[in-house]
Amino acid sequence: MNKLLIKNKMKNVFLLICLVFALNIYAQNPAFKGQGTVNQVSTVSKPVQKQWKGVFSFEDDTIYFSNNFEGGRLNGIVKDNDSTFTVLITSENTPINTSPWYAFKIWSKQKKQIIVNLTYGEGNKNRYYPKLSNDGLNWTAIDSTNYIEFEKGDKNFDPKSLPTKVQMKLNVNQDTLWVSAQELQTSKHIKKWSEDLSKKPFISNRQIGKSKEGRPLTALTIGEENTKRMLIVISRQHPPEVTGYLAMKAFVETISSDLKIAKEFRKKFTTYVVPLMNPDGVDNGFWRHNVGGIDLNRDWTSFNQPETLAVSEFIKERERKTNGKFYFGIDFHSTYDDIYYTIADTYKGNMSGLVPEWLAHVKKEIPGYNPNISPSDKMEPAIISRNYFYVSHGMEALVYEIGDNTDRDFIILKGKTSAIELMKLMLSKL
Ligand SMILES: [Zn+2]
């Protein structure tokens, strides 16, 4: 009895120490400050290196790797010994930011445990924690006991926080094992999501243009076609930024939901959604750019690329047709940690004060959650979508960034809460 009591007490003390330790670490971890000023660069197309696609096999013919699917990226493999393989992942062109995308399938004639090293060549690092899947649809993060990082940086965020090489222990057999940097959400998956959503009577899906490789660029219309009050939602300018896409999905599904607030909102506002800005980049497994070799989120002044041009023409066409206004524009991305890139409050748009008020409401609704807010006081030249939304259309706008590793259930909660609070606030301002 006594022994049990002591044991329980010790357990409580232990838990308390853990809690203090965790809070202490949290306090020492400063919030992600985000990136600095974005500089204007040429967005005239330049060459990209597409990868050889197919099945990689070896002399003994027992283990196979494949990148032959949309969203796959694997640029070369060396078999180091009977059970160890070193994979090389390279970017579509350079210079490029550190977001190496990898995705491949593996299968084996015999049940076997193998070791796979992921390498990126000079100057690049591993950014994404590997996800595994048996069907390409349901993903789980690799068990940490089967994962080793080498030469990891000592910073909390940015490339200095990343390892140069990682090693995975994988159990393979005749069934396909999928390995990917993030959950695969390619044009096929996004098309299905859009089509499913547009079965609702108040949602339609239209083509607004074509990517450089001819893939359709589509926009959902949520609400009535010719309402004068409009919003624009975009995502996936940058192919690997799947967590931003997941937040966008939850956000848009909430605006499309049966909630009372959503029904009221749709009577007054129409929301346009371009869920996949860069289908070519996504399906080719690019790290950052479109097939024109350009970061689309640097092309909102020059519009040299068909993807950005189509969206800007679509916004202008909606304004002309409805004789209305866009009040809000949001661009979903992913980075090292959750952050909001907003516009300094000296700039007054079509619904002045909306974004800071809204973010304060979201913060209140999710107690203890306090991501950084980084307002920009330089709007011109526009360069990026947020600035274009404000400068050319007076929208209250922001870049909504989700951390690469933010908990997936939390992303959904945050997307949903963000949508509810936005709808409430926009309705209250009418
Ligand atoms: Zn991005």
Question: Domain span at residue 125?
Answer: 55-180
Predicted confidence at residue 20, as pLDDT, reads 39
Query: Exposure string (b/e) for 60-93, b if CB count within 10 Å is 16 or more?
Result: eeebbbbbebebbbbbebebeeeeebbbebbbbb
Distance CA 425, CA 177 (A): 46
pLDDT tens-digit series, residues 349-407: 999 999 999 999 999 999 999 999 999 999 999 999 999 999 999 999 999 999 999 99
Two structure tokens written together for 143: 């068990």
CA angle 242, 243, 247 (to 5 degrees): 115
Distance CA 178, CA 303 (A): 36
CA–CA distances in Å: residue 79 to residues 154, 196, 269: 31, 43, 57
pLDDT tens-digit series, residues 265-277: 999 999 999 999 9
Distance CA 332, CA 339 (A): 11
Residue 136 CA, ligand 1 centroid: distance in Å:
23
Residue 181 CA, ligand 1 centroid: distance in Å:
15
Last residue of a domain, one of 180, 199, 225: 180
Does 393 reside within a domain?
A: yes
DSSP for residue 305: S
Q: Is 319 exposed, middle or buried (0-12, 13-18, 19+ CB in 10 A)?
A: middle
Residue 295 CA, ligand 1 centroid: distance in Å:
9
Same domain, 203 and 331: yes
pLDDT tens-digit series, residues 196-221: 999 999 999 999 999 999 999 999 99
Read off the pTM.
0.92
Q: Are 132 and 178 in contact (CB under 8 A)?
A: yes
Distance CA 23, CA 25 (A): 5
Least confident of 32-41, 130-139, 159-168, 280-289: 32-41
Same domain, 221 and 319: yes
Same domain, 413 and 304: yes
Same domain, 162 and 65: yes
Same domain, 133 and 264: no
Q: Nearest-CA neighbor of 35 among 295, 354, 308?
A: 295
Does 27 reside within a domain?
A: no
Same domain, 322 and 423: yes
Predicted confidence at residue 8, as pLDDT, reads 52
Same domain, 289 and 415: yes
Q: CATH number, domain at 336?
A: 3.40.630.10
Residue 6 has pLDDT above 50, yes or no: no
Residue 105 CA, ligand 1 centroid: distance in Å:
26
Does 21 reside within a domain?
A: no
Residues with Cβ within 8 Å of residue 176, at least 6 apart in sequence: 105, 106, 107, 134
Last residue of a domain, one of 180, 214, 243: 180
Residue 282 CA, ligand 1 centroid: distance in Å:
13
Last residue of a domain, one of 140, 155, 180: 180
Residue 297 CA, ligand 1 centroid: distance in Å:
8
pLDDT tens-digit series, residues 317-327: 999 999 999 99
Strand residue runs (E) in 127-263: 131-133, 140-141, 147-150, 165-172, 177-180, 203-210, 216-222, 229-235
φ and ψ of 382, to 5 deg? -60, -50
Strand ordering across the sheet containing 63-66: 55-56, 63-66, 103-108, 177-180, 131-133, 140-141
CA angle 184, 190, 193 (to 5 degrees): 120
CA-based torsion, 332, 337, 340, 344: positive or negative:
negative
Same domain, 232 and 251: yes
Same domain, 249 and 171: no
Same domain, 265 and 127: no
Residue 52 CA, ligand 1 centroid: distance in Å:
26
Predicted confidence at residue 37, as pLDDT, reads 81
ω into 381 cis (within 30 of 0): yes
Same domain, 147 and 195: no
Number of domains in the chain: 2
Q: Nearest-CA neighbor of 281 among 126, 71, 137?
A: 71
Q: CATH number, domain at 129?
A: 2.60.40.3120
Same domain, 236 and 167: no
Residue 255 CA, ligand 1 centroid: distance in Å:
23
